Amino acid sequence: MSRLLEFQELQQALRNEYSGVIASWRFLAGARFGAIAFSVTFFTTLLGAYPYLIVNQEKLGLFGITALNGMPFLGLVATFAFFVLENRNLHLYNLCVLRGQELEIQLNILRGFFHTLWPPIFGAPISYVWPLWGFVFVGYIVWIVLVL
């Protein structure tokens, strides 16, 4: 009887962990979406303010000159920060998917949620994360052009 009790306790612990992994996956999916939405808004604001600063440079005085010279560097730093944040979130997201797949196997869940997702790839080549690399590349080119 104790083996049955141990098995039931183990199954309950695995179900609890599975619930936690699903909650973490949802959070990371939302965090990734929020970071991308924020970055697009932030960079659009920076790029929109740049022509305004050029046109009104004389009216804004020292603030305008400082902002005009500092904006490309702020864009470079923000692009790098976004890249680091997205890389970290992607790694944690992949860990959640892997753990969810392992738990589905242990819980005998056929065609579980995590098995329907794309398989996570760690140390992926550039082609796997091309949108992220493309965003970083274009971002750096834009900010470097504005610096020059």
C-alpha span between 136 and 62 (Å, rounded) = 31
* 142 CB neighbour count, 10 Å cutoff: 18
Q: What is the pLDDT of residue 61?
A: 86
Q: What is the pLDDT of residue 21?
A: 94
2-31 pLDDT, tens digit each: 888 788 898 999 999 999 999 999 999 899
Q: What is the pLDDT of residues 42-96, one digit of tens each?
A: 888 888 888 888 888 888 888 888 888 888 888 888 888 888 888 888 888 888 9
Helix intervals (H) in the chain: 2-55, 57-106, 113-116, 130-147
Hunting for tokens 């141990």 — which residue is that?
A: 6
pLDDT tens, 33-52? 888 888 888 888 888 888 88
Average pLDDT, the chain: 81
pLDDT digits (tens, 9 = 90+) for 109-134: 888 888 887 766 665 544 445 566 66
